[in-house]
Chain A
Amino acid sequence: MESIPLLSILIFTPVIGMLSLIFVDNKNKNLIRSLAFGISAINFLVSLLLLTNFKTTHEMQFVEKHLWIKDFGVYYSLGVDGISLFLVLLTTLTAAICFASTWKAITKHVKEFMISMLMLEAGMIGTFCALDFFLFYIFWEVMLIPMYFIIGIWGGQRRIYAAVKFFLYTMIGSVLMLVAIIWMYFHYNELTGEYSLDILSYHGLPIDPAIQIWLFLAFFLAFAIKVPMFPFHTWLPDAHVEAPTAGSVILAGILLKMGTYGFLRFSLPIFPEATIASINWISVLAIIGIVYGALVAMVQSDIKKLVAYSSVSHLGFVVLGIFALNTQAIEGGLLQMINHGLSTGALFLIVGVLYERRHTRLISEYGGIAAKMPIFAVIFMVVTLSSIGLPGLNGFVGEFLILLGVWESNKLFAILASTGVVWAAIYMLWMYQRVMFGKVTNPKNMDLQDLNLREISYFAPLLILIFVLGIFPTPVIKMMEPSVVHLIDQVGIENRKPLVTVIKEPDKKSNSNYKKLISANNKNIITSRSEKLTKVLNHVYSNSNRKKNSPQ
């Protein structure tokens, strides 16, 4: 198993699919659909190999590392651990389901749609697997392009506004992150004399707390917009409402997890001091998100918008859990990321089913559907209950662990957050009641068709997982645990071993000295240059350290 580049296969299968679709005739829509679905289904099956071959440690597994851009020290390096493993699986599963769900929904420009979706899938898997900042950033940004087109071309009335807003919000966050990455790249070089963008070697890098907070904020903005946390959430309802069903499912199921994944992979282990300093205000924002999202969801008249705001609320839980910084809460957060992907993904599919039949998403247009669509009613009910967090279904486990962990770290936060569970029950059940129960009042709903086999079969895996994760979450938690424990070790300041002997950053004066020294000594090739830089720096630092130490 070691020798097979499993992660590269997962990333590049969709890319190959994309390229092969280009040569398929535009008019042969069913061939295009089946090809795209086939590719994503194969990809899902391949991704199951990750699960069976995963060893329960915190080490990165299925690692691939190849030199890519030697002048910048950029590697093509991939790997998964307990944190990213399930997100990769969730991605491949959700993608396959999305392709199955678009059979009837997308009739215009089918080929372009499938190409966009496959590109998106490649980008998402890559983001979760990348272990090099450069590679990570590429995948992170690559996802913008297909998502922009998916919202903008196949979306609703205000699709252009929503697409541009989505693009801008996400981009403004990520470019500042890029600046922070480059800053750290040079900082890393100053400390070690090497040029590297390897994410893992940045874990525990000593950074002056005063600067760390700025870097932390740059990363935080990128991830908070993606999550989206209050007050950066305004793009989400627009994007969800306008996006086609498959786009919404991907957006809610996977893209939002990028932000929380980013907190776990970058913010916590790279900026531990800043993380600890920011716990309170981030938790407050998360709680505002939980309550505000829930309250706004309650008053929505559009089902899709309701589900979109419920995402803001649910992801508030995840962020709160992550920043509680203990094992239960982070495990709960991770689990809740998966759960939210499953249940909210399913909810958007449900909205899609209704929309395909009636071309409206207004709650007031429905009522009494349960009588007309019994199978649909059952599925809808299970998903609703899972989203609320009914014990026995997946949502409960995640929320419970989060609240347990948060209670340990801050009781007030836990109390405030638990009100979110109540709100969720209110808005979800109320919505369910208005849509499904009662008498059929609207004559247009009289001859609604129940789910067909294709629709049932794409709901089936989601429902099975909702039950399985609700009843037997332990195997999953066990697989996550070493990585989560390791992560908490990295954040705990007392446990941190500095990568190299901690040296203070050079002050302005010695900085300009070294600039001059560098420009005096440069050679064309970076490697020889970095050796020299190290020498020069060691010299500068030893001087400044001596000066600093002398009075004592």
Chain B
Amino acid sequence: MKQLVIPDVSLGAVGPEIVLVVTAILLLLLEVFTARKEKGYLAYTALGGVLLASAMTANMNGYTEMNFSGMYVVDNFASFFKLVCLLGTGMTILVSVTYTINEGISNGEYYALLLFATSGMFFMISGSDMVTIFMGLEVMSISLYALAGYTRNREKSNEAALKYFVLGALASAFLLYGIALIYGATGSTKLAIIGDSLRTGIANYHLIIIGAALLVVGFGFKISAVPFHMWAPDVYQGAPAPVTAFMSSGPKAATFAAFLRVFNEALPSMQADWWQIFWILSVMTMTVGNIMALRQTDVKRMLAYSSIAHAGYILMGFTTGDWFGVSAILFYMLVYTFMNIGVFAVVTIVARKNEEKTTFEDYTGLGYKHPIIGVTLVVLLFSLIGIPPTAGFVGKFYIFMSALQQGYVWLVIIAVVNSVISVFYYLRLTIVMYMTEETTEALPSLSLSPSLVTALIISIYGSLWLGVMPSSYITFAQAASLIP
């Protein structure tokens, strides 16, 4: 009789995940026993969980372990991405506090969903098996579908949730199909084994190619790469502003992490084939994103396209297939999280009760009425454009460097021309904030809660400090690059 083998289980390796899930369940319980008016502390409970998880993750830095019979891996790469996701979640919670109270959705479930989504991201980031990655992706996505529709009285929010769900389910099906085909070709879902069988040439090459293409579709959907980006503008616009901030940071980072891990660990021997796919994907994504963003009249929609364009820049790092490109992606993701959540924090501040004010006109005179918010937004926008001395510049510089090192001169030229195009729509916000005549309808005074101020300070810190003194973060990113 075959002996039953109990796999090694190291709970230490999944410590942060356990903390997140336990905190989320705790929030659900507390929700039941808390009176409606006293729910303010729930956000801080969630924040506490995030901080604890961050401390545990940071503690794991420099430590590599394969666990759960090779289904789950903890390494520097994973720790870096997890910290980026936690940063995104933590800042989202800070941004959400006032908003959720104003909207009357300050419930434990909201924060619990954020934490569940984060735990899903963790499983994607650390998954060294296609199945783990898929599970993580689904946990994350389903939480996000619910969050997108969280302001259930608002029509747009419902529409966003439905669209996101239908298209997301389709993308998941593609991903699953891809996994199945690769399993069929190699007989395994473990990344390392797939990689080995490709190297030794046992695998059915055609099946692998189709499988890899389907994986690109599935992951491409989540990172909103063109042509799989259709959902992004509608969902970004319809979802509550803090949720949009969340969607544009953590989930994207986690998908990039899984994307990188799958292609660099399972399919590295096909790099000669897939760099072209990423080259095309990257060019299409940044160009379409930037050009579409030009014509938007809604700030959230504009930011959705801007986020698509940034995914295009990040995809440039994929084409290289070397450690330098991966570390550039890591650094960019960190910078992007800082600056993008900051921008959405401002959007959340400007968006008022019941009706989100998100057209460009709503920002008229913001720079004079609220100088601090104005300057913050300007710094963040210049960081998004990539003007020094902001972090956005160093991030772009790093990505461009990694692509040029491999000789992709045209890719980089297209990318810099794209950054010039992006100037148009980012500057439009500064124009309405500072340069147009103040309209008769004065901007109402906006309230700044301490939590929002904290979020803004963090994002300004990230957007400037990483631009002026990026050295230690770059070293950190390079130590975390997946490929040795």
- Which residues of A approach B to under 8 Å, CB–CB? 68-72, 109, 134, 137-138, 141-142, 144-145, 148-149, 152-153, 159-160, 163-164, 167-168, 171-172, 175-176, 178-179, 182-183, 185-186, 511, 515, 518-519, 522-526
Contacts and interface: CB of A to CB of B under 8 A. Distances in A.
B478 A179 contact: no
Contact of B483 (A152, A164, A515, A519): A519
A141 B416 contact: no
Contacts of A515: 322, 406
A69 B417 CA distance: 26
A524 B400 contact: no
B279 interface: no
A153 B401 contact: no
Given A179-B400, A524-B479, A137 B388 contact: yes
Contacts of B401: 72, 182, 185
A197 to B, nearest CB: 11
Contacts of A172: 417, 420
A153 B474 contact: no
Nearest to A74: B471
A109 B417 CA distance: 34
Nearest to B471: A69
Interface string B430-471: 110011100000000000000000000000000000000011
B322 A522 contact: yes
A171 B423 contact: yes
Given A70-B475, A138-B388, A515-B322, 7 more contacts: A69-B471, A134-B397, A160-B431, A171-B420, A178-B416, A179-B404, A179-B416
Given A160-B431, A175-B416, A519-B483, A71 B478 contact: yes
A423 B368 CA distance: 46
A318 B65 CA distance: 64
B358 interface: no
Interface of B: 321-323, 368, 382, 387-389, 393, 397, 400-401, 404-407, 409, 412-413, 416-417, 419-420, 423-424, 427, 430-431, 434-436, 470-471, 474-475, 478-479, 481, 483-484
B404 A186 contact: yes
B474 A69 contact: yes
Contacts of B416: 175-176, 178-179
Contacts of B413: 176, 179
A182 B404 contact: yes
Given A141-B387, A171-B420, A175-B416, A163 B407 contact: no
Nearest to B403: A182
Given A141-B388, A145-B382, A183-B409, A167 B423 contact: yes
B52 to A, nearest CB: 29
Contact of B435 (A138, A145, A153, A171): A153
A149 B434 contact: yes
Contacts of A149: 430, 434
Given A71-B474, A164-B424, A179-B404, A518 B322 contact: yes
B257 to A, nearest CB: 18
Contacts of A141: 387-388, 393
Given A163-B435, A168-B420, A179-B416, A519 B322 contact: yes
Given A71-B471, A159-B435, A519-B322, A164 B478 contact: no
A289 B74 CA distance: 63
A148 to B, nearest CB: 8
Contacts of B397: 134, 178, 182
